[in-house]
């Protein structure tokens, strides 16, 4: 049973229907050379690592929207008759981001191509939500006591380590010794909502977080501290959104069970 739960955490939670909280939102407007919106242009985004692809057509004012994209590095391609194809690479989308990327087309044949290879600046411009990202480099390289990745939550200024104030392993019920607790914005440790690939990850006994997956299994996570979406109805102080790496590249172990993939655990 524990082994099955470990597999589910690494593989199953990546399904689109469960990933609504750990994806990114990309939108923008496609413009002609004079700055007017182009209706009917085809916009395609592709994950440069996995080749995951989504497409849409611009609206009457040239607007496009991808409301829920898995985190990753994307290439965007825009085509329309009478204009040279537009390709931009290096669009890095992080968990919980909501960004706008305007695109200006040039006159020419579709066979012609304008390629932008510089990394795009992914600054959130259409959301008032505030938070801090803990990326994969930090997860992998920062020192951890016991390989408990939830310690990295305490890097966020609004978060306070409240583990010593709770009963942890001394509680009765389904509480794990490695659980650690954060108070965010002054709210209690049970006022922080935890999500792993869009699935609730709170201990149902005391409403705090379960032990995080292994650092080798985590792609990144962010802690939302202000102006949280109404979808987080159980969050008083903050929301921690964790996204996992691909199944064939991770090693999972979090005290519930274990699963080994291509990657070896960090020593």
The DSSP result for 142-192, as a single string, is: S--STT-GGGGGGGSTTEEE-GGGS-GGGSSSS--TT---EEETT--GGGE
pLDDT for residue 39 = 96
Tokens 């938070």 — which residue? 131
Q: Following CA atoms 43, 47, 53, 56 in sequence, which dihedral angle do they give, to the nearest 10 degrees? A: -20
DSSP H stretches of helix in the chain = 2-10, 136-141
Q: Following CA atoms 155, 224, 22, 31 in sequence, which dihedral angle do they give, to the nearest 10 degrees? A: -120
Total domain count, the chain: 2
pLDDT digits (tens, 9 = 90+) for 53-65: 999 999 999 999 9
In a domain, 57, yes or no: yes
Domain boundary (116, 147, 180) is at: 116
In a domain, 17, yes or no: no
Give the pLDDT of the chain (267 residues) as one tens digit per residue: 444 344 444 444 443 434 444 678 899 999 999 999 999 999 999 998 888 999 999 999 999 999 988 888 899 999 999 999 999 988 888 877 788 899 999 998 877 777 776 555 555 555 556 677 788 888 888 888 878 888 888 888 888 887 777 655 455 545 666 677 788 887 777 788 888 887 888 877 777 788 888 888 888 888 887 766 666 666 777 888 888 876 533 333 343 333 333 333 333
**Does 176 lie in the same domain as 212?**
yes
The boundaries of the domain holding residue 187 are 129-260
In a domain, 16, yes or no: no
pTM: 0.57
Query: Contact, 107 vs 132, CB < 8 A?
Result: no
pLDDT digits (tens, 9 = 90+) for 182-224: 888 877 777 888 888 878 888 777 777 888 888 888 888 888 8
- 34: left (phi > 0), else alpha (psi -120 to 50), else beta? alpha
**Does 97 lie in the same domain as 65?**
yes
Query: Contact, 237 vs 187, CB < 8 A?
Result: yes
In a domain, 123, yes or no: no
Structure tokens at 130: 């505030």
**Does 202 lie in the same domain as 112?**
no
| Extended beta strands in the chain, E state | 23-31, 42-47, 53-57, 63-70, 72-80, 83-93, 98-100, 103-104, 113-116, 130-134, 159-161, 182-184, 192-196, 199-200, 218-226, 238-244, 251-253, 258-260
């Amino acid at each position: 049973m524990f082994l099955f739960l470990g597999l589910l955490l690494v593989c199953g939670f990546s399904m689109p229907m469960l990933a609504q909280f750990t994806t990114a939102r990309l939108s923008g407007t496609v413009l002609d050379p004079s700055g007017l919106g182009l209706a009917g242009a085809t916009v395609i985004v592709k994950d440069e690592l996995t080749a995951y692809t989504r497409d849409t057509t611009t609206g009457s004012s040239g607007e496009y929207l991808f409301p829920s994209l898995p985190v990753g590095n994307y290439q965007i391609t825009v085509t329309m008759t009478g204009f040279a194809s537009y390709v931009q690479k290096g669009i890095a989308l992080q968990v919980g981001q909501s960004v706008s990327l305007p695109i200006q087309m040039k006159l020419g044949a579709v066979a012609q191509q304008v390629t932008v290879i510089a990394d795009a600046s992914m600054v959130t411009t259409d959301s008032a939500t505030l938070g801090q990202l803990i990326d994969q480099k930090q997860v992998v390289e920062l020192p951890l006591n016991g390989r408990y990745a939830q310690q990295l939550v305490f890097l966020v200024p609004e978060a306070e380590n409240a583990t010593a104030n709770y009963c942890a392993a001394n509680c009765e019920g389904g509480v794990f010794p490695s659980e650690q607790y954060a108070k965010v914005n002054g709210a209690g440790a049970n006022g922080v909502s935890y999500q792993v690939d869009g699935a609730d990850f709170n201990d149902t006994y005391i409403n705090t977080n379960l032990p995080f997956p292994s650092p080798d299994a985590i792609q990144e996570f962010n802690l939302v501290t202000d102006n949280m979406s109404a979808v987080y109805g159980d969050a008083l102080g903050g929301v921690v959104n964790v996204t996992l790496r691909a199944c064939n590249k991770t090693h999972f172990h979090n005290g519930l069970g274990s699963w080994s993939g291509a990657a070896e655990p960090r020593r």
